[in-house]
């Protein structure tokens, strides 16, 4: 197996591109694909200050590394979710990476800074853990980006993630979500620009990139993810991809090129900045009264912390 660029020994095959690469040229491919996504969707301008949402997993750490390599002023933000040992280990991975690379890391801890954690918020509000977690992440990343004067928040969603979400939204024809599924959401009053620079790269490529770049990420998944519908969609798409390499890319890229605009009318009003009020607690734009984040904090902060459970059984995270 030879590298298609230099004919040296290859370390990875990328079936989607029908090509093999050595370590150097594979890392270059990943960098080029990231730069291409940024340019193609006008995600960032040269010299932009970017806040990278880092979880300790392969995608977010690789993204931080890539944006730094591409010359952006990229700082990290890690959110301590209070999900048992998983959160302890992911926080440690992020801190070690930032220290080794001399990068600036900001941290917010849900329990220490806001008085709750994800499992407790989920139990108290009867939301799923991922819903309580997603709401907290969106609010706190937006707030940190605006307060820190960043031009954009970048997240490590890769092609597999985005294709799985698209698959789920299409299966149910959730047109309001389809209308918003774009790798860049422009800034609007009270909300920073949000970008996903890894949408041209798959899960396997991100894992290989981390190994080749010596990035120590945490391999374990969040224990709350089990049973998540998206994992099923990913498996289904992986089967299709195995039989027909390139399908995932064609599905997602084709949607962006030829379909997403057709759903524009289905976008919810607030997607366009239609919030008419400010939250009476924190001041973010909202539809009325108290924003969803402040309502969550109001109910969850101070509640008795709950043990981690899955389907009613305690789990050891």
Please give the residue ranges that form the binding site for Zn ion (CB under 5 A). 3, 5-6, 8, 22, 25, 279, 281-282, 291, 294
Q: Considering the complex, what minimum distance in angstroms separates the CB of residue 312 from ligand SF4?
A: 17
Give the nearer residue to Zn ion in terms of CB position, either 43 or 284. 284
Q: Which residues bind ligand SF4 (CB under 6 A)?
A: 118, 129-130, 133-134, 222, 224-225
CB closer to ligand SF4, 265 vs 316: 316
Candidates 155, 196, 254; CA nearest to 42 is 196
By C-beta, is 90 or 136 nearer to Zn ion?
136
Shortest gap between Cβ of 21 and ligand SF4 (angstroms)?
A: 31
Residue 49: left (phi > 0), alpha (psi -120 to 50), or beta?
Answer: beta
Q: How far is CA 167 from CA 135, 187, 312, in A?
A: 22, 26, 29
Q: Select from 198, 160, 164, 202 the least CA-distant residue to 14.
A: 202
E runs forming strands in 152-274: 152-154, 184-185, 193-195
Contacted by 85, from Zn ion, ligand SF4, none: CB < 5 to 8 Å by type: none
- Give the separation between CA 84 and CA 202, rounded to whole angstroms: 29
| Residue 79 beta carbon to ligand SF4: minimum distance, rounded to whole angstroms | 9
Residue 15 beta carbon to ligand SF4: minimum distance, rounded to whole angstroms: 28
Nearest to 197 by CA among 134, 145, 155, 161: 155
Nearest CB to Zn ion, comparing residues 10 and 43: 10
The H or E element spanning position 39 is helix 23-40
Q: Which does 225 bind (CB under 5 to 8 A by kind): ligand SF4, Zn ion, none?
A: ligand SF4
């Amino acid at each position: 197996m030879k590298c298609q660029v230099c004919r040296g020994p290859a370390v990875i095959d990328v079936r989607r591109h029908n090509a093999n690469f050595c370590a150097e040229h594979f890392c270059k491919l990943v960098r080029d694909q990231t730069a291409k996504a940024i340019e193609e969707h006008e995600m960032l301008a040269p010299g932009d200050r970017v806040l990278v949402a880092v979880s300790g997993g392969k995608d977010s750490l690789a993204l931080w590394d890539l944006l730094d390599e591409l010359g952006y002023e990229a700082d990290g933000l890690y959110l301590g979710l209070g999900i048992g040992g998983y959160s302890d280990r992911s926080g440690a991975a992020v801190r070690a990476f930032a220290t080794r690379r001399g990068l600036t890391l900001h941290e917010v801890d849900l329990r220490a800074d806001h008085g709750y954690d994800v499992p407790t918020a989920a139990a108290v509000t009867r939301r799923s853990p991922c819903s309580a977690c997603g709401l907290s992440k969106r609010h706190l990343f937006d707030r940190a980006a605006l307060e820190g004067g960043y031009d954009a928040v970048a997240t490590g969603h890769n092609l597999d993630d985005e294709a799985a979400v698209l698959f789920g939204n299409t299966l149910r024809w959730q047109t309001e979500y389809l209308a918003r599924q774009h790798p860049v959401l422009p800034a609007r009053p009270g909300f920073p620009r949000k970008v996903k620079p890894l949408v041209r790269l798959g899960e396997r490529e991100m894992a290989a990139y981390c190994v080749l770049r010596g990035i120590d990420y945490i391999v374990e998944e969040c224990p709350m993810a089990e049973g998540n519908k998206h994992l099923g969609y990913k498996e289904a798409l992986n089967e299709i991809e195995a039989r027909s390499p390139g399908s995932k890319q064609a599905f997602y890229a084709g949607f962006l090129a030829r379909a997403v605009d057709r759903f524009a009318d289905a976008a919810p009003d607030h997607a366009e900045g239609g919030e008419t009020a400010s939250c009476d607690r924190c001041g973010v734009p909202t539809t009325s009264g108290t924003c969803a984040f402040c309502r969550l904090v109001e109910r969850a902060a101070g509640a008795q912390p709950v043990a981690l459970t899955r389907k009613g059984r305690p789990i050891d995270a």
